[in-house]
Amino acid sequence: MRKGIYVLLVFQLCFILNLCGQQKGVIALQTSEKQLSSRNTFAVVVGISDYQDPAIPDLKYADKDAEAFANYLRSEAGGMLDGDHLKVLLNEHATMGQMANALDWLLEVSKENDRVYIYFSGHGDVEKKTLSQPGYLLCWDSPARVYLGGGAMALPMFQDVISTLSIQNKAKVIVISDACHAGKLSGSNINGTQATAANLAKQFANEIKILSCQPNEYSIEGQQWGGGRGAFSYHLIEGLYGLADLNGDKSVSLLEVSRYLEDNVSKEVAPLSQMPMVAGDKSEKLSKVVSELVATNRRNNTNEVPLFAATESRGLEEEILSTTDSFTRTSFYHFNQSLKNKNFFEPEKDCAEYYYAILSNDERLSRLHSTMRRNYAAVLQDDAQQVINKYMKAELHEISISISERVKKYELYPKLLAKAAELLGDQHYLYKDLQARKNYFLAFRYTYGVDYNLITYNKGLNHMREALQWQPDMPLALLGMVYIFGYQLLNKDSAEYYANKANESAPNWILPFTKVAKTLSTSFLDFEKSMKYLEKAKKIDAENPLVWEAEANYYFDIGDFNEAKIVLEKIVEKQPSSVCLPCSKNLLVQTYIEIGDYSTAETMALKLFIADTNQFNTRINLGKIYTLTHRLELAKIEFRAVARISSVNSNPESTYQYWLSYLYAHEGNFDEAFKSFEQSIKFGYDDYSWMQIDPEYKLLRNQKEKWDELMKKYFPDKMK
């Protein structure tokens, strides 16, 4: 008789835990930290994503969340539970019978002062027929309807199990439930999931309950949390590992968990609503903090960019759209297709913006509006997000794309990010980040577009500054400032300042150090400091080809071309594809030119040209080779191509005349060289500071009388 009662109680437990499905588990706790050494810990962890009955909507990450919680319990922070203390039931193993057995096991093994965890992630519902029902947790073999027929646990019976554990067995019980997922279930028309959550939230005796959301909310899950998890589960486990230890006492209390969940879950699911619920003794210590585990979590989060992604609402969509007309359903379908195809603003009457305007004004869809807004904003951010992630990982392929192609690729990002910010509103936690990213991509074309004029430089500088006003520690904007001050405005102190600020923001990122090392050697001939930053980059990742590239750049700038050649040939050997690291390979071409091996230089440059005709450095090198080997017409063709490719914001004729001046100077025709140089200035080239150190203009600067005459004519204020 007693066994049968326990089975029913277990069924009830299964149901309650399923209720908060996407919120992952409810736990009842009864012990205090001072008793930790004298008690055992037992746990039953249940996660169901794939239900047997096809009429019950599957979940994406409930099983992953349960497994993650089980791994926490297996860790030192969670008590290092073994198979004798931990039962994990996932998907088809989480039948009602197996849950009953597991809960019965808890009743048998737990004793006074023991700690007992019950974690459930799955569906919760009430039956359609009887509104007075308190709700069920749906086990794997639950039928889609008539839950009394088996496979589902009624909440009163589940609560009886909890109360028996806490009152009769005198164990400390922690119930964690994530059973409030969206989906069309039997009781959807009477808000079955919400009713179950409300009943589950009721507290009896002295157990602790941690629920994923309020009764009127749904649990949110998505790729942005741990590569595919529920927001509640992800932050709960991070908090328990130690990130919730706000007072630094090396333990995590229920109060600290509650605050950590409130601060992180509600913020990150916005504009959707999800506020976890916590009931019980707030002073109860739930876990001890293991410094190594906290450090690992924080290290893994270093350089991570805030991610905002779409959320699943399929079950809720079906429920609401079934009450509308065919026009609305068709519009909703086309809205989602437009997002999928990234047709945001075009064609005018068949794009995401067009359908969103229609659907967002339809009050019948009010329960879907926040999800639509979030999903629209998420897709708008996606491409820019991926690019930023690649830069933060210093991904070779993205960095290797030609500047002209990157400018073209990123051109629409500011508009997309501005729209995303508008949709989320200025109170959203990502609003400032979105404004910063928008300005970064506005700055990109001016900062890296290789236009030789101060108007362009200042536009880039202003957008980078605005990005930093929105997000002062934005690593990419700080890196952009290194480039602007290092290569364009030639302010060494500022270049170093921003490199160090970027490193403070992202300590494991090599790009600030490689960038400032290059600019110190190339623009300022400060080889001692350049090497200092190179050493810092090597400490982060000595085997990274980008570090080798910066090292080769250093050797090239000091005139040690043989050493530069050795390093660059190592890069080519490790990265044989012509598409990868074209800057390294073009620097190798320049090295061959400097040592007079024009044949090898030309062979390599032509291979780079075939791989990507839009790499302006390749075309420059070909133009140089043809100039130095007196094939002037071919050189002019290449320099014309350079002007077309690299002049993103300025007059291409200015760039073309610049390189014609180089050509004539190396032919010894200084009259024509100075004519072309003057034409370049007339067409917009006004970077006086770079003119004075530009290695390409060394021959012209050697003609001191003519050079000074031209400088006085066009830059009289600089010549005083």
Is 694 part of a structural domain of the chain?
Answer: yes
Could you say which of 426, 457, 483 is where a domain stops?
A: 426
pLDDT at 396: 85
The answer to whether residues 45 and 170 belong to one domain is yes
Write the pLDDT tens digit of every residue in 507-545.
Answer: 889 999 999 999 999 999 999 999 999 999 999 999 999
Which of 192, 219, 246 finishes a domain? 219
Q: Is residue 252 part of a domain?
A: no
10-residue block means of pLDDT along the chain (720 residues)? 42 42 38 46 94 85 93 91 92 84 87 93 69 72 69 78 89 88 42 46 68 80 81 92 89 92 86 86 87 61 57 68 92 94 94 96 90 87 86 86 88 95 86 94 89 87 97 94 94 96 90 96 96 96 93 96 94 72 88 95 93 88 96 96 84 94 96 96 92 92 94 87
C-alpha pair distances (Å), 580 with each of 4, 121, 508, 517, 572: 67, 45, 22, 21, 9
Which among 680, 643, 676 has a CA at the least distance from the CA of 661? 676
Specify whether 191 is located in the same domain as 337: no
Q: Do 311 and 414 have their domain in common? A: yes
The pLDDT assigned to 272 comes to 80
The two beta strands, 221-222 and 41-47, are unpaired
The answer to whether position 489 is within a domain reads no
174 and 55 fall within a common domain: yes
Confidence (pLDDT) at 502: 93
- Residues 215, 317, single domain; the answer is no
| 332 and 210 together in one domain | no
Do 207 and 321 lie in one domain? The reply is: no
Q: Which of 523, 487, 524, 480 has the alpha carbon at shortest distance from 505? A: 480
Whether residues 416 and 320 fall in one domain: yes
Residue where a domain stops, chosen among 399, 426, 453? 426
If asked whether residues 39 and 179 sit together in one domain, one would say yes
Give 353-395 pLDDT, tens digit per residue: 999 999 999 999 988 898 888 889 888 988 898 898 889 888 8
Please report whether residue 619 resides in a domain.
Answer: no
**CB neighbours of 493 closer than 8 A, spacing ≥ 6?**
none
Rounded CA separation 648/407 (Å): 8
CA 42, chain centre distance (Å): 36
Show the domain range for 407. 307-426
Contact 51, 138 (CB under 8 A): yes
Does residue 116 form part of some domain? Answer: yes
* Predicted local distance difference test score (pLDDT) of residue 18: 43
* Residue 212 within any structural domain of the chain: yes
pLDDT at 403: 84
The count of other CB atoms within 10 Å of the CB of residue 341 is 11
Residues 8 and 137 both lie in one domain: yes
167 falls within a domain: yes
Look at residue 707 and tell me if it is in a domain.
Answer: yes
Looking at the structure, do residues 152 and 26 belong to the same domain, yes or no? yes
215 and 312 co-located in one domain = no
**Residue 146 pLDDT:** 62
The total number of structural domains in the chain stands at 3
